[in-house]
Amino acid sequence: MSFKYVGKPIPPQDGFLKVTGTATYTFDLELPGMLYAKLVTSTVPHARIKKIDVSRALGVPGVVRVVTGKEYPYRVGMYAGDRDLLAIDKVNWVGHPVAAVIAETLEAAEKAIDLVDVEYEELPAIFDPLEALKPDALLIHEKMEEYRHSPAFKPIPGTNIANKFTLVRGDVEKGFRESDVVLEEEFHISHVSHCYMEVQNVIAHYHLDGTVEIWTSWQNVAPVRQIMALSLGIPHNKIIVRIPYVGGGFGGKAGLGWEALVAILSKAAGHRPVKLVLSRKEQFSTAAVREGFHAFAKAGFKKDGTFNAYSVRFILDAGAYADYTVNVGRAVGYSADGCYEIPNINVESLTVYTNKIPTTALRGFGYPESHWVLEQIIDRAAKKLGIDPSEIRRKNLVKPGHSHTCTGERLREDAGDPQKVLKTLVDEIGWGKPSENPPEPWKVRAKGLSLFVKGPAQPPNAAASAILKFNEDASIDLLIATGNFGQGTVTALMQIVAEEFGLPLEKVRVDYVRDTHKSAYTWQTVGSRGLFTDGIAILKAIEDAKNQIFTVASEVLRCPKDQLELVDGEVRVKGKPWEKIPLQDIVMGYTYPNGNSIGGPVIGRGVFMSTHTTYLDPDTGQGNPTIFHTFGGTAVELELDLLTGEINILKAVEVLDLGKVINPLLVKQQTHGGLIMGTSISLYEEIKFDERGWVVNPNFTSYYLVRIKDLPREVVARYIETPQLDGPYGARGIGELTMIGVAPAIANAIYNSIGVKLDRLPMNPEYVWRALREQRPDLVEEAWKRFSKYEKIVEVTI
């Protein structure tokens, strides 16, 4: 079937505004009478607050109010419900907001925060989650039992465990006994920051009549309203949340934000609008980042490569607050089996409080973490068994229509084609063909593979909806709340609408502001779900609108509805294209020559609700957690400098089974973007803490991000289209997937070629250099010899 828009490389719909600098972000907004807020943050990692003296701060000209936590002791949150607006009686990390200064100018607010005097009574601090798990560990959250948490989670009051996820399937002990090879391995990941370019910033206006208006740089409007309504007790329709363009999110602008706090500040400041803008330093020390991660894994394989038993314990260093990280801990747990069939599996995933920066999801929601572990275990087993890494994967891959995941969910027949993903990956990277020798003989070249699978991490009842209304000229306003923070989703959704109505793309409009008051509800655009869930809701809205249009047209054209079709903006009788009515004569109601009219303005509505998803059993982790699975793989060919530990990616291949590519231009852009972010996080990114819990690298000089000069030299993106029958045009989600395979593929390349295990992220030169010296001193020595010889050759040629 050929389409006019679906499957076509349509440029991003918001391109014009973005290249002209006229796209408006919350960062750019000012309201009349607006005040500025700045946060006073804790300088100690764990302490009781003895006294806060704000008198000197109030003396700064322009300061309107200083607010402290005791005045507004609300608990806020989405999943764990553990967060305070400002520290109430205790600070739990260096960077914890203790007070907020509200002033007429930013300058006055900045000056005043240094003059708020906070007296602390220090408590011992816990920085290591393994310490926090000890039975005699000090409690960071003493009143955990009072928190209002979602039923999907299991906090354990009286401990530092914010969520305990357990999964049991088969008999793992028996599985190990029946295995020929058993491996035990450890893996770790450092904290990383999302580093979206637009810092978190919020404007709140708490009106005297009790209405609260919010403008925020956040991914989704609905959760902001929900969190505020539940925690502050404001009726939903009195909270209006608006989100204009957003300068990046990557999961770091989902879940809990600053909106409830800034709303309270607006109220405290005499109901004037207040804006809070975080600094980049605060993004690294006060806003939530991706958690630290530890994994202790044991895996059993049979001689023929069958993955027989897997037991893994994940420990997430969630920091001081874990509101969203509990869901990361859950997703790490239920994705432990990746895309392999493992008959016997035990998982324990603990989300643990420490006195460090709070944490949240980052592009992949636990899946990059679980795959960092699993995909390396596969390669290590392969080496022990003498089986090729591609072959051991081929052998253990799940079979849609037959296999069950580790949560006991049967994979749908149309879930995708993982074997084809693997085959394409292997072909594109030239697996089995040795790399060329590097020009510098102290370097080595190597290839590595990683597969992955992912579905959205979400509650079972996460709904979406769409409203589609026609204007007089048969143009369409699509009222959706789909988050728009850089992905191609909205453009793709517009393509679907234009396609279905046979209208030019220009006739379809999605406003850039998401608005709880005006947009149809969607739970959240996270977890790569937007195109799938909102696309389904839109298709239903289209069906609804078409039905209204055909009902009127059938009367006018005196023809049964099923004989009508929509082509090029006209309703036509099938087989008699000359019997037709232009859409604009119907969409506001049809008027007969004498003035009699029928029908009326056409408004389509549609919903998405997943009917098969469930909560997971609290003891066994069994159930149906996701709405689709996207299979994919990443392969890299890299060059490793044995003397410096530097890794240089020569070629990266990414293969994804997307069901249907709605927009090849933007899918490729997402793929490239994920590969680049994945490279950055794999090789460079790490938030470093000193022994007192301070972040020592809160800036882009000492926290390095990949720049345009650091790209993999060659990238290849390939898509497989095994349609998911209930997806929009068969499509599945992609956004986060593109990052998952990068880190394990890099580590596997190095392990396969020289046997050096890299268990930690990031694989920065210092770490790799140390690992090389510890594990392969012979190679390093040989490389030095080659290097010194090579220098001599250079001297001769000069």
Partner 1 sequence: MGRWITLTVNGSKRRVEVKDNEILLDVLRDKLKVKSVKAACWRGECGLCSILLNGKLVKSCLVLAVEVDGSEILTVEGLARDGELAPIQRSFIEHGALQCGFCTPAFVLASHKLLEENPSASEDEIKESLSGIVCRCGTYYEIIEAIKDASKHYQVRKKV
Q: Quote the least distance from Cβ 675 to partner 1, whole Å.
A: 7
Measure CA 474 to chain center.
Answer: 36
Q: Quote the least distance from Cβ 109 to partner 1, whole Å.
A: 14
Handedness of CA 236, 239, 245, 249 (dihedral sign): negative
Give the chain's end-to-end CA distance (angstroms, integer).
64
Residue closer to partner 1 by CB (options 461, 699) is 699
Q: Quote the least distance from Cβ 719 to partner 1, whole Å.
A: 16
Cβ distance 309 to 299 under 8 Å? yes
Q: Quote the least distance from Cβ 643 to partner 1, whole Å.
A: 24
- How far is it, in rounded angstroms, from Cα 658 to Cα 415? 10
Residue closer to partner 1 by CB (options 548, 738) is 738
Mode of pairing for the β-strands spanning 307-319 and 292-301: antiparallel
Cβ distance 442 to 790 under 8 Å? yes
Cβ distance 372 to 744 under 8 Å? yes
Residue closer to partner 1 by CB (options 21, 124) is 21
Handedness of CA 449, 327, 248, 680 (dihedral sign): negative
Cβ distance 137 to 160 under 8 Å? yes
Spatial CA neighbour of 261 closest among 423, 429, 83, 412: 83
Spatial CA neighbour of 360 closest among 501, 178, 521, 191: 191
Residue 158: which region, alpha, beta or left (left: phi > 0; alpha: psi -120 to 50)? left
Spatial CA neighbour of 402 closest among 344, 341, 451, 338: 341
Residue closer to partner 1 by CB (options 62, 248) is 248
Residue closer to partner 1 by CB (options 383, 668) is 668
Spatial CA neighbour of 719 closest among 627, 656, 782: 656
Q: Quote the least distance from Cβ 722 to partner 1, whole Å.
A: 25
Residue closer to partner 1 by CB (options 25, 769) is 25
Q: Quote the least distance from Cβ 20 to partner 1, whole Å.
A: 6
- How far is it, in rounded angstroms, from Cα 627 to Cα 586? 37
Residue closer to partner 1 by CB (options 396, 682) is 682
Q: Quote the least distance from Cβ 748 to partner 1, whole Å.
A: 22
Spatial CA neighbour of 351 closest among 713, 79, 32: 79
Q: Quote the least distance from Cβ 413 to partner 1, whole Å.
A: 34
Cβ distance 526 to 361 under 8 Å? yes
Q: Quote the least distance from Cβ 528 to partner 1, whole Å.
A: 15
Phi, psi of 478 (to 5 degrees): -100, 115
Spatial CA neighbour of 367 closest among 526, 261, 494: 526
- How far is it, in rounded angstroms, from Cα 720 to Cα 423? 11
| CB burial readout 177-216, b (16+ within 10 A) else e | eebeebeebebebbbbbbbbebbbbbbbbbeeeeebbbbb
Residue closer to partner 1 by CB (options 15, 577) is 15
DSSP state letters, 337-360: TTTB--SEEEEEEEEEE-SS--EE
Binding interface with partner 1 (CB under 8 A): 9, 11-12, 14-25, 27-28, 194-199, 245-250, 279-280, 485-488, 665-666, 668-669, 672-677, 680, 699-701, 705-709, 711, 715
Q: Quote the least distance from Cβ 23 to partner 1, whole Å.
A: 5
* Four-point Cα dihedral 777, 780, 786, 790, nearest 10: -150
Phi, psi of 155 (to 5 degrees): -70, 155
Residue closer to partner 1 by CB (options 19, 567) is 19
Residue closer to partner 1 by CB (options 364, 416) is 364
Q: Quote the least distance from Cβ 30 to partner 1, whole Å.
A: 8
Q: Quote the least distance from Cβ 62 to partner 1, whole Å.
A: 14
DSSP state letters, 488-514: SHHHHHHHHHHHHHT--GGGEE--S-E
Residue closer to partner 1 by CB (options 28, 515) is 28
Residue closer to partner 1 by CB (options 512, 790) is 512
DSSP state letters, 66-119: EEEGGGS--EE-SSS--EESS-SSEE-STT-EEEEEEESSHHHHHHHHTT-EEE
Residue closer to partner 1 by CB (options 618, 664) is 664
Residue closer to partner 1 by CB (options 19, 696) is 19
Q: Quote the least distance from Cβ 696 to partner 1, whole Å.
A: 16
Q: Quote the least distance from Cβ 485 to partner 1, whole Å.
A: 5
